[in-house]
Every structure is written in C-alpha cells, then in structure tokens.
Amino acid sequence: MTSAAELPASAGSTSTSKLTTKQAHQGDPLSKANGVYVTVHGHFYQPPRENPYLDAIERQPSAAPFHDWNERIHWECYRPNAFARVLNDQGEVVGIVNNYEYMSFNIGPTLMSWLERYDVEVYQRILEADAKSCQRLHGHGNAIAQVYNHIIMPLANEQDKHTQIRWGKEDFRSRFGRDPEGMWLAETAVDYATVKALVAEGIRFIVLAPSQAQRCRPLPTQDDPQPEWHEVGGSQIDPTRPYRCYLKGSKGTTNSQYIDIFFYDGPISRDMGFSDVVYSSNHLAGRIGAAVRGDHRQSQLISVATDGETFGHHKRGTEKTLAYAFIKEFPQHNWTVTNFAHYLSLHPPAWEVELKPVTAWSCAHGVDRWQDDCGCGGEGGVWHQKWRRPLRNALNWLRDQLVEVYEEYGQQFFRDPWLARDEYIQVIRDRSAANVSRFLSRHQTHKLTAAEQVDALRLLEMQRHSLLMFTSCGWFFEELSRPEGTQIMRYAARALELAGDVAGVQLEKGFLKRLGLAPSNVQIFKHGAEVYRQLVQTAQITFKQVAAHYAISSLFNAQGSAPGHQHKRVYCYSVNEIDYQLQRMGALTLAVGNLKLVSDITWESENLVFAVLHLGGWDFHCCIQLFTGRRDYSQLKDKLFTSLQQASAAQTILAMTQLFAGEAYNLQNLFAEERHRIMRLLSQETLSRLDQLYTQAYRDNYGVIMAFHRDELAVPQELQVAAEIALGYRCMSTLRSLEQDISEPSLIGIYIVELEAIATEAKHLRCRLNIPEGKQILEQVILRLLWRLLHDSNGSFATDIQSLERLIDVGYQLDIDISLHQSQELYFSCLHSQILPLCVAGQSNHEGSSQCLQLLKLGERLKVDVSQVSERLDF
C-alpha cells in the first residue's frame, strides 16, 4: 500500500497536515498573518429555471439523461465536490473530502433553494462545511453571500440594488446561521453606486477581477499623508493583498465610508477555466507557486476565482484535483488554505484602491454585454446582439410601470410597501400559511380581508418577478430566443399579469411594442415581440389549465376515484376535491368533479367544475367552468352520466359541449411531467405485448443466434434487437421484484441467480442492455442492503454480505455503467467509526474475525482502500 504522503498528485488523505516545525516557530498562520495563504473561490450559480406559474423546473430534454440542467450539473459538480474522492494508484478511495470545507464559495440563493429540495444530504454537507471552516478559521466561514438573483447591479435602480443585497443577506443568514461578511456580485459587475449600497447594507468585502482597478496607493499615514497613486488600469494591480476602497463624496472627495476589496489572480483564474491546469494538483500548485512574491513580505494571499461548475461539470473529475491540493499539495508547500474573511482579519488593508467607473469580469466594455451590441457573447459567430438594448429598455419601462402600481396599491395594504418587499424574502424562504400570516400581520395597515390578502401577495409576487426578469443570463449569450432570454420574458409576463389582476392595468401591449424593436437572429421570430408570442404567451397557465391537468390525471390515480373532501397538490396549487364521480361504459370513462384550487403563492383561489371523457388510447375531452352552485352542479352531473348510458362518445361530447362554455382540453394541455407519465402508462400495454413478442422471437431463434456467434458472423439486426429487448425486459422484471422484496433475504438470492444468468447470456450474445431505470434500481438496492448490513443486520449478516458481493459483481457483469459512489461514501464513513471497532472487538473469536475479513473484502469490492485497517489488525 502506498502511504498518503507517497501518493501521486491524484491522491491524498482526509486529514489536514499539521504545522511544520518552521511554522510552529514563527507562529500559527491561522492566528497571525505569516507566510503564504491560498484561497480558491468557486462561484456556484445556475439561473432560475422554474416555471413562473408552477414554481418548479420542468423537464429539459437537452439535459438528458437527467431531468434538467440543475440535476445534471448537480451530479457532475455539486455532489462530487461534497464527496470529492482521493484515490491511490489502484483507483481505490483513500479519502473523501468535502471541498466546500476548504474553498471559498458563494452559491446563488435560487440554486441553494433547489439544492435544499432536491438533495438535502449535499445541502447539509455545504452548511456543515461552512460551520467547520468557521471553527478552523476563528469564526470566518468559507461561504459568502450573493446578490439574490444575479442581476447586473450597475444597471439596476437604487431600490432594486438594496433589495438584491438584503434578500441575498437574509437568504444567507437563514441558511448558514450567521451574517455574511462578503458578497459576490453577479459577473463582478460594479460601480460606485453599487459599492455605496453594499457599504450601507453592512457588507465588509467583495471580490473583483484585476482589470476592474484603476489606481492604487498605500494608505496615508502620519509620515506620508499624500502617498503617490499608481496607475494599474491594465490589470497590473498586485492581487496578493487586500485593498480599501473609499466612497466618493458629492464633489469627488473621499469620505470615511469604505469597503475592502480582493482582486483575484487573473492569469491563474483564466487558466483554471480555459486550460488543463486543474487536471493535476501538482500543476495547479506550480502555477500558484509561480505567483508567490519573493519580496520577503510577512504574508501574502494567492487567490483565484472561477465558476464553481468548472470543477466537475466543465472539467470532469477536477474536484479530485482540488481535494488533493487542499489536504496534501498546498500544505506540503507550507501554504495555509484560507478564505477572504479570515485573511482580512489577519491582514487588514494597507493599500487603497480606486475603481474604474463601470466594469465586470466577463465584458471588456463595462457592462455593455447586458445592454448593448458589444460583441461579447457572440465571439466567432455571425449573429448580432442588437436585441440587447431594446430588451433592456422594454424591461426598464415595465419595471417603472410596476413601481407605480406597487406604490399606489401597496400603500393600501402595507405600512411601508418597500420595507414589505425587502422582508418578503422571509416568505419566499417559507411559504407556510402560518409564516405568511405572520408576515402580513407585521406589515398590514389594517386587518386585511381575504381578498385584500390575495392582492397584497399578488403585489409582492409582481415585485419578485420584476426582479427575476433582470437575471443577467437573459443577455449573456448571442440570441434573444435562447432559453435564458425566454425565461426572463416569462418572468416579465407573470409580473404584468399580476399587475393587471390587482390594478386592472393593461401593460402587455406597451411591452410588446417595445419588444418589437429587439431584432432576433432567428428568421421565424424576427423580433422580441414574436418570441414573446410564440414562446412566452403559449406557456402561460390559468386556473382552468391546472384543473384540466388534475381532471385528466385523476383517471390514472387510484385515489382520484374516491369521492369526498380530499386535499391534494398540483405543483404550487392545493386542490380540495369537494366531489368526484367516475363511471365506465365499455371503452368510455367519464369523470365529473367539483374542486377548489388555491395558489400556495398568492392565495388566490377558484371553485371549478370539470368533466373529462376518456375515449380510449390517447383521446381525451375535458371541459372546465366555474362552480355556480350545488343545484347547477348536480343537474350537470346527472345530464352527463345519463348521456354516457347511451355508450356513445359523440353523445357524451355533445352534452359536455352544451353544458360547458369555452375551450376543451386534452392530453396535450397537461403539464409536461404528468403528460409524459400518462403517455408511458398508455403505452404500457402495447410495450408489454411487444416485449412478449420479442421474447418469443428470441426463444424461438436462440439456437440460430448462437450459431451466428459460433461462426463469427454478424447476427441479423432483427434477431439481435429481439435478444437485447428480451433480456432487458427480463432483467427489468427481476430488478423490480428484487426492489420490492428487498426485506426478504430468502428471495434476494433467487433474484441474484436470475440476474447472474441474464448477465452470462447477454455476454455470450454480445447484447448491450439499455436499462437506465434498472441501473438506478440496482444502485439503490446495493445502497439499502449496505446500510442494513452496517446499521441493522438483525442476524442476517452472512446472507446480506454475500448478497452484496454478488450484486456488485453482477452489476459490473451486466455492463450497465453502475455507479457505486453513494455506497462508497456510506462504507467509507463507517470504515473507522464502525468497521474498525467491530474488527478490533471481534479479533478474540473466530466468528468476529471472519466477519471482519468479509467486511474488508466488501470494501475492496467497493474500491475503498482498506489496507490501513488490515495492517493495523495484522490481517
């Protein structure tokens, strides 16, 4: 076994190196500025992708095989960085490092909200990492805040600047349990008005690119009250020290208020994003070492900053590089891994800096990338960005119109409408009825009626969408009709719709007129107004669409057939099913119901009646209308079910048309997730029949297929496809049974034998099984069995461990790209805390020694290095 100290740059251990003798002699660098400090900052961010009406991300086909891009990047980046592997030469895990514990980072609030819902384990790892860094670095955590939804601050009005900072701070505080010391600015875009707002909100420091500094000088002292300014406008500023930036007075004079600024090392940061330096911790350390100043200063900080998604998503596997660098490579150079806040506490600025007027890290033209045709974002392409200015103008106009609505109507409900908006983040974080009620009670001018509460919440949501529509990604790329541009227009559409609900104002026509001045590069759109009509208006959702979604889905939900007051959910809508009746007549199925829909976000509600007719297959006819009274509803129901008795689809549809006004809905009107689920259900019978046909064809021609293989001839495609489908079907059936019966040890062995037979057959026939769902089932079965083995064996140790070994082996034999990462993490977390003590305690008896050996062999199968435990136990 190679020791951690001897491992190559791709490996390491989980323990932090102790102070060297030299460091101990000079003083603890964590307590006193001494030597070289290194900070790697990751800006983790995803644009908000939620449907404004559903408060959920819908499936994004371009992210396949994942549900959406958040999920894809999560599995490629956010989770791997929370469990970053350190490997030895054999590819075995010798350490699992939480990179967030060592790197400086900001995670956008909208992304953190998604993480909290999607993977609470990773979410908690991030919070724990900040807490541990606080302990290690004398109260200064690695996490810093971010302006809430990544707007370009210099282009925001004064009110929005402050709300972005306040929302970012409050979101941070509610998660990390402390006030943020620093704040990340979207695209590091800054001007002095932004600095002033940050100072007013108590932010201590920010991080900028070296190109954003104009000039610097040592801070004035009694001996040198007027030190000379040094021009550094060409990125010449020394990034190894912090700087103090004073606000300017009304006549350009300096006042006493300031913010501290770190400038990251530009060349190294660029290399991390655009070269291969992050594929080797040795190379990364070499680049950082080359930046160390040899002028014998007492301390210096080498800081680099890049998109956090670089580590794992943009550059696959580089989270391992970071992990080894943090716990082995950097300490070997006697460098102290720290964060900006901690270094600032040890080394307050001794230099002053003045900034260029308006700048950002990703635009060479100030902030024109988010308002003009500057060329940034369209490099090397033939598309223009002439749409940027009209889009910005249209949204600015809409924002100002919404401000007028908010101020006029907000004062009817809120004592201070702008304070209410600033504190609305508390509702965004917790939309429970009790919390919303507390919020309204604090801010209301009088006890609001139910209708007034709805309008109050509509106004606040209008303002939230008014902020979301300025998310920077909408301008970042080369074309208006991309998903990012479409998304911010959807937020705008929702905002102006809410304004109309409250104030009756019609803002869409004026907005479209201005969008019409934004030329698109795509011929079918021509301009922004057409993008809006085709991609935004078609995505708007009404209460009737939500009801239609519920009605059609109810035909496929067992609980939907039970009448009575049932409470269910459709995304961010609560459904109170007041009445429901379903009848079948031959191939026809008719359901009629009365339900009350309530928005969890605005509390607005509608009482609706629906009727849905399933004609068989893919054909549905659904009608919705407002509930007008029990008598009307009872008569409607009687007439519809009477028409159904004729067993005529035409008669039933005619009756529905006569009784319901307005458009009809069908399967296509369902929200995508549920539509796809129902499509799969409707296809199930056909697919099962086809699976059986392919299986029969495979069985009938098994000898023929084998003959082709024996003679090394290409198997006819029809027969090879039949074999792959038949074996895949058989494998999936077995895996589903295994998942269902996992608590029955006696059955597990039977299913494993079947899976082994399938794997052998597939190998002989050179079949590639395309069963992504089966891969997930097998991974989870292995994880659950491992958890049971380690935490709740209940006398079935021998059976469980044998099953685990065989399942791991069969997973590889099936060649379905099985991932054992989560099982590795579970095993490794128990290796020293549970497995080692168990082995020590069992050394005195044969059974204990046998179990220990089996556990260690299981670790080897999971590709976890167990040699240190083996050596300690002398096995």
The model's pLDDT over 502-546, given as tens digits with 9 standing for 90+, comes to 999 999 999 999 999 999 999 999 999 999 999 999 999 999 999
Residue 100: per-residue pLDDT: 98
Q: How do strand 35-44 and strand 336-337 relate by DSSP bridges?
A: parallel
Confidence of residue 558 (pLDDT cuts 50, 70, 90): low
* 15: pLDDT strictly greater than 60: no
Confidence of residue 566 (pLDDT cuts 50, 70, 90): low
The dihedral formed by the CA atoms of 414, 415, 416 and 422, expressed in degrees to the nearest 10: -50
Q: What is the pLDDT of residues 704-739, one digit of tens each?
A: 999 998 999 999 999 999 999 999 999 999 999 999
Query: Could you give phi then psi for residue 652, rounded to 5 degrees?
Result: -70, -40
Q: Look up tokens 């060649």; give the residue.
A: 815
CB 198 within 8 A of CB 165: yes
Q: Look up tokens 């900080």; give the residue.
A: 301
Q: What is the pLDDT of residues 646-692, one digit of tens each?
A: 888 999 999 999 999 878 999 998 898 888 889 988 898 899 999 99
Percent pLDDT > 70 in the chain is 95
Provide CB contacts within 8 A for 386, sequence distance 6+. 373, 518, 519
Confidence of residue 25 (pLDDT cuts 50, 70, 90): very low
Give 312's DSSP letter.
Answer: T
Residue 252: per-residue pLDDT: 57
- Mean pLDDT over 328-338 rounds to 96
- Mean pLDDT over 620-637 rounds to 96
- Mean pLDDT over 63-71 rounds to 94
Confidence of residue 4 (pLDDT cuts 50, 70, 90): very low
- Mean pLDDT over 399-418 rounds to 98
Residue 382: per-residue pLDDT: 86
Q: What is the mean pLDDT of the chain?
A: 92
* 7: pLDDT strictly greater than 50: no
Q: How far apart are CA 132 and CA 140, in angstroms?
A: 10
**Adjacency order of strands within the sheet including 566-570:** 566-570, 573-585, 588-599, 605-616, 619-626
Residue 253: per-residue pLDDT: 61
Q: What is the pLDDT of residues 412-438, one digit of tens each?
A: 999 999 999 999 999 999 999 999 999
CB 835 within 8 A of CB 855: yes
Highest-confidence segment of 372-376, 732-736, 740-744, 793-797 = 732-736
Nearest to 611 by CA among 641, 628, 591: 591
- Alpha carbon 226 to its chain centroid, in Å, reads 50
Confidence of residue 564 (pLDDT cuts 50, 70, 90): very low
* 250: pLDDT strictly greater than 90: no
- Mean pLDDT over 829-833 rounds to 91
Residue 813 burial (C-beta neighbours within 10 Å; 0-12, 13-18, 19+): middle
3-state helix/strand/coil string of 579-645: EEEEEEECCEEEEEEEEEEEECCCCCEEEEEEEEEEEECCEEEEEEEECCCHHHHHHHHHHHHHHHC
Residue 203: per-residue pLDDT: 98
CB 98 within 8 A of CB 121: no
Nearest to 580 by CA among 598, 597, 564: 564
Kindly state the helix (H) or strand (E) to which residue 12 belongs, with its residue range: none
- Mean pLDDT over 556-584 rounds to 79
Confidence of residue 561 (pLDDT cuts 50, 70, 90): very low
Residue 841: per-residue pLDDT: 77
**Half-sphere exposure in the Cβ direction for 533 (13 Å, CA):** 12
Q: Which of 20-24, 168-172, 860-864 has the lowest mean pLDDT?
A: 20-24
CB 67 within 8 A of CB 365: no
Percent pLDDT > 90 in the chain is 82
Residue 646: per-residue pLDDT: 87
Residue 12: per-residue pLDDT: 38
Residue 873: per-residue pLDDT: 74
Q: How far apart are CA 649 and CA 653, in angstroms?
A: 6
Q: Which of 23-27, 401-405, 551-555 has the lowest mean pLDDT?
A: 23-27
* 859: pLDDT strictly greater than 80: yes
CB 373 within 8 A of CB 383: no
Confidence of residue 559 (pLDDT cuts 50, 70, 90): very low
Q: How far apart are CA 109 and CA 95, in angstroms?
A: 30
**Which amino acid, one-letter code, is at 849?**
S
CB 484 within 8 A of CB 497: no
Residue 593: per-residue pLDDT: 96
CB count within 10 Å of CB 317 equals: 15
Q: How far apart are CA 812 and CA 822, in angstroms?
A: 16
Give 414's DSSP letter.
Answer: B
Q: What is the pLDDT of residues 216-232, one digit of tens each?
A: 999 999 999 999 999 99
Q: How many helices (H) and strands (E) does the chain have?
A: 34, 19
